[in-house]
Structure 1
Amino acid sequence: MRTAVHDRGGVAAIEFGIMIPLLSLMVVSVTDIGLALYRKMQVENAAQAGAQYAIVRGFDETGVTSAVTAATNSTAINASPKPYQFCGCPTSSGVSTVSCGAVCPGGAQAGTYAMVSAQGTYYTLINYQIVAATYTYSAQSTARLQ
């Protein structure tokens, strides 16, 4: 009995057994964060792909929507809200909407723009109880066509 009290054999195995769930949770959590960031980048790239389509081929709602969904292999990404075309003037804070044919404050004609939006949902790998189980990412891209 005295030797059993001072015996240290198997202590490493017991410590490993205690630590492996914590280490596994850490690995899954880091992977989950990486996948969530990747989904966010996919949504941003899909919105940019739709705007690039409108620049190259002209504004076509169906074509732009197809470009957004085809930009990634994820079925969780879509063009929402629908892409639209508008006339506007560039300002320091973005593009202000004006009627087509209007003259901008700088004296130039109002340009034609396309606004493309993409939206995607990410579902976490496990339910962490302290954070949401789903995240919805959205991105917009505005491009001048003329």
Structure 2
Amino acid sequence: MRAAVSDRRGVAAVEFGIMIPLLSLMVVSVTDIGLAIYRKMQVENAAQAGAQYAIARGFDASGISNAVTSATNSTAITASPGPVQFCGCPTNAGVSAVSCGAVCTGGAQAGTYATVSAQATYYTLINYQIVAATYSYSAQSTARLQ
């Protein structure tokens, strides 16, 4: 009996067997977080690509929507809500919508702007039970056209 108690062979294998599920969960969780952040960056880049398209080629709702969906290799990204063209004046808080032809503060003519939106949903790799299984990301980019 004394020999069995002092025998240390196989201890490393038992410890490895106990630790491998925890290490595997950590690897999957870190990968899941990375993929979620990557999806968020894809959505932001898609909205910016749509705004860049509008700057370069003018306002074309279908062309902008195609630029948004084609900006990444993800099929989950949509241009929703659709792109919007409006007239506005720049302010400290952003762009305030005004009627076209209006004169802004400072005497400048109101400019033409386009707002492009993109959105996608990320589904986690496994159900963690303590956090949500889906995350919805959306981004919006506004650019002056004229």
TM-score (norm 2): 0.99
Partners of 1:97 and 1:17 in 2: how far apart? Answer: 63
Structure 1 unaligned segments of length 5 or more: list them.
Answer: none
Once the two structures are TM-superposed, the CA of residue 2 in structure 1 deviates from its matched residue by 1.5
Q: CA deviation at 1:92?
A: 0.7
Structure 2 counterparts to residues 1-146 of structure 1, below 5 A: 1-146=1-146
Q: What is the percent sequence identity of the aligned residues? A: 85
User: How far 1:52 sits from its partner (Å)?
Assistant: 0.4
Any unmatched runs of 5+ in structure 2?
none
Matches of 1:2 and 1:37 in 2, distance apart?
A: 55
Q: Which amino acid aligns with 2:39?
A: R
After TM superposition, what 4+ stretches of structure 1 lie above 6 angstroms from structure 2?
none
Aligned pair count?
146
Task: Give the 3-state SS of the residue equivalent to 1:78 in structure 2.
Answer: coil
TM-score by length of 1: 0.99
Output the amino acid matched with 2:59. Answer: F
User: What CA distance in whole angstroms lies between the structure 2 residues aligned with 1:2 and 1:24?
Assistant: 36
